[in-house]
Copies of this chain bind each other. A is one copy, B any other.
Amino acid sequence: MVRKFDARQPDFETGFAAFLAEDRGTGHDVASIVRKILDDVEASGGQAVADYTAKFDELQVNPTTLQSDNVDLHALAADCPADLRKAIDFAHDRIAAYHTAQRPADHRFTDTTGVELGWRWTALESVGVYVPGGRASYPSSVLMNTVPAKIAGVSRIVMVAPAPGGELAPAVAYAALKAGVDEFYPIGGAQAVAALAFGAGRLKPVDKIVGPGNAFVAEAKRQVFGRVGIDTIAGPSEILIIADHTANPDWVAADLLSQAEHDPSSQSILITVDKSVGKAVEISVENQLMELPTGERARLSWEAHGAIIDAPDLETAAAIANQIAPEHLELAIADPDALLPLIQHAGAVFLGHLTPEALGDYVTGSNHVLPTSRAARFGSGLGLYDFLKRMSIQRVSPEGFAALAPAALRLAEAERLPAHARSVSIRTNRSGADG
């Protein structure tokens, strides 16, 4: 049985807040294990990476090259079927088009005091892309993490993916080559994150590490953050669907299950302003679960973390959505554009009945790497911005200097930083003369 809430009930807020606060993570404390792996790789480089890879992935990699005779990206890619290549090419081109549109403009302006200000965006030089291996080995993830880096102008894109026993999906290999990965290493786990951050063997350190992984990978990214950039700490993911009487219950049920099948810790929530739709969706979920090959996993998620919420109106539904701050939000309602302005916190919004999350996962072109576990309160999905940084620019004219100097001197004095004051005052006498 899935949990049900009624937003009209006086105890809704308390009960629902407790539901939202439930831990969907693994709960394992992996910090000290990860610390040791990072320290080992920093101290022993490629040898430590090779040792951990032999231990965890049963794969021999050369401590210097970090390559394995059993994993050849080009050979693997050649095994990718033609129709799947075509689908990957199609997704690639759409992702490239969407992210090309994201490029921010440089800006430069002169204000009334004669001070020139602005900023300039430049690309990161090198990026490491972590791609999970095994069951969760997704060519779409390769594209979503790599294509924006390429579009941004990153000149060195390094991909790592564990290949347990030498196994790696041919579609992952094809997607990597299609997206233009410059270097590939068949390594994973915290040891791969360490190798990317510190360098190991011939793998030179990168400037930023992106891509999802298990709890060890997430913790390793957290621990190397600062020394290199990271994208986000990914947690369990979720979908929220707001449905009205125009929604097709079978479609809504299918979309809820498309999230639930990912992992038992996934979360699928329906808010409906029409009770009969809620009931019909609940029945349809049960029916579809029985047919679904991934039904066992999806049922665990649906029964542990799923919910159906009755809301009196769409405004209330939007307020609840903002409280959830879902990774994915489908507006399966008659006029989604009318509700959109009320949505403040969501990773991605899917408008109308023909826009299931699954299309966004693969081929609309927008990025499927999105803030999970309520992180849409403060974070954005992956985008071109993750591979660019903004350099601020300023140039002070003699007139501008005269206008700015007094306040700067007063503040430096208040902050007891006399060398700051001196670097202004030393120029004061000559500020009219130089430019």
Chain A residues proximal to chain B, CB less than 8 Å: 31, 35, 83-84, 86-88, 90-91, 97-98, 101-102, 104, 107, 109, 111, 115-117, 119-120, 122-125, 135, 138-140, 169, 171, 207-208, 218, 222-223, 225-226, 228-229, 232-233, 235, 248, 250-251, 254-255, 257-258, 260-262, 288, 292-294, 298, 336, 340, 343-367, 370-371, 373, 375-381, 383, 385, 389-398, 400-401, 404-408, 410-412, 414-424, 426-427, 430-431, 434-435
Contacts and interface: CB of A to CB of B under 8 A. Distances in A.
Contacts of A414: 84, 87, 139, 169, 171
Nearest to A378: B229
Contact of A378 (B90, B119, B207): B207
Contacts of A258: 417, 419-420, 422-423
Nearest to A356: B423
B355 A395 contact: yes
Contacts of A354: 396-398, 400-401, 427, 431, 434-435
5 contacts: A250-B426, A257-B422, A348-B392, A349-B392, A359-B405
A127 B377 CA distance: 11
Contacts of A107: 101
Nearest to A370: B392
A363 B431 contact: no
A396 B332 CA distance: 12
A101 B392 CA distance: 13
Contacts of A383: 390
Given A226-B222, A362-B412, A419-B261, A376 B355 contact: no
Contacts of A88: 411
Nearest to A383: B390
B288 A408 contact: no
A83 B413 CA distance: 12
A396 B117 contact: no
Given A294-B418, A358-B420, A394-B351, A225 B222 contact: yes
A376 B394 contact: no
Given A378-B228, A435-B352, A254 B422 contact: yes
Contacts of A434: 248, 353-354
Contacts of A104: 104
B419 A336 contact: no
Given A86-B410, A294-B417, A336-B395, 11 more contacts: A31-B31, A84-B414, A226-B232, A258-B422, A262-B417, A293-B418, A352-B395, A353-B435, A356-B424, A358-B408, A359-B401
